[in-house]
Amino acid sequence: MLRLTDLEVVQMAIPSPTPRSAPYTYATWLSKAMAGEHGCLYAGWFKSHFSVQGKRDINLDAWTAEHTAMVHDCAAEFRAEGYEVYLEGQNTLRVRGQGGAVLGGKPDLVAVMDETAVVVECKTGNPRTSDSLQVRLYMYLLSEWSTHPARECRRILGEVRYKPDRGEPLRLPHAAADLMRRYMQVFLSPVPPLATPSFQECRFCELAGGVCMESIEEEPEAVVVGWF
Ligand code: SF4
């Protein structure tokens, strides 16, 4: 089965960071920080303040096709139950704070029926803690986003949809607003957090290879000991 693995997501970045006119943070960056999957908060802070151009060294077409098929299968399922379904581009959600910073996201699917909206994110890979947090952030954004058709819904649910062999869909009762605020404050601060470089994280980071001077790009050698 084809899926995007961590090793395939090695970036061949062409770093040309340009300052953003106002900070812009994506829900996916927040969810990975909240889950501890991106321990180096400097990366999220930097990308919130600077636009970084990069490219991947693999062809994502096959992964995209698998993900798209999953989203369309999910859409058909909800439609069969009587829901009105909105897909990706229709779900571009953005909220702007009083200081001008923007938090944005784009859930794969939002299904609406009567007073209920269900936010769904489809994942082709292994389940991660950040998956459910990402959906919670989308739920929060949806509750604040006044132009989405789901704005009239009094009940917003969330779901992470994995492939059938990767576990049951997860229903989420509420948004993780407090955690979200905490990490937004880190990413939007004018003072960057300290970088915490590690080979395990830097090798997948868009800022490695020129933008971030702290990057560790070679795995440290194991130290030889004499007790075993
Ligand atoms: S390259 Fe490493 S140290 Fe630099 S921002 Fe990325 S993860 Fe952090």
Indicate if ligand 1 lies below 6 Å from the C-beta of 202: yes
pLDDT band at 226 (very low <50, low <70, confident <90, very high): very high
Distance CA 96, CA 100 (A): 6
What are 14-68's pLDDT values in tens digits?
A: 547 899 999 999 999 999 999 999 999 999 999 999 998 765 555 577 778 899 9
Indicate if ligand 1 lies below 6 Å from the C-beta of 150: no
What are 151-183's pLDDT values in tens digits?
A: 889 898 999 999 887 667 776 655 567 788 889
Segments making up each domain of the chain, as ranges: 18-202
Task: For the chain, give the percent of residues with pLDDT over 70.
Answer: 86
Question: What distance in angstroms lies between residue 186's CA and the mean position of ligand 1's atoms?
Answer: 16
Predicted local confidence at residue 33, as pLDDT: 94
Question: What distance in angstroms lies between residue 7's CA and the mean position of ligand 1's atoms?
Answer: 17
Q: Which residue has the higher pLDDT, 10 or 149?
A: 149
Task: For the chain, give the percent of residues with pLDDT over 90.
Answer: 60
pTM of this prediction? Answer: 0.84
Query: Which option is the CATH number for 18-202: 3.40.390, 3.40.50, 1.10.8, 3.90.320?
Result: 3.90.320
Which has the closest alpha carbon to 109: 129, 135, 128, 133?
135
Distance CA 66, CA 59 (A): 13
Which residues are within 8 A (CB) of 121 and not within 5 positions of it... i.e. 6 or more apart?
107, 108, 109, 131, 134, 135, 138, 158, 159, 160, 161
Question: What distance in angstroms lies between residue 5's CA and the mean position of ligand 1's atoms?
Answer: 20
Amino acid found at 179: L
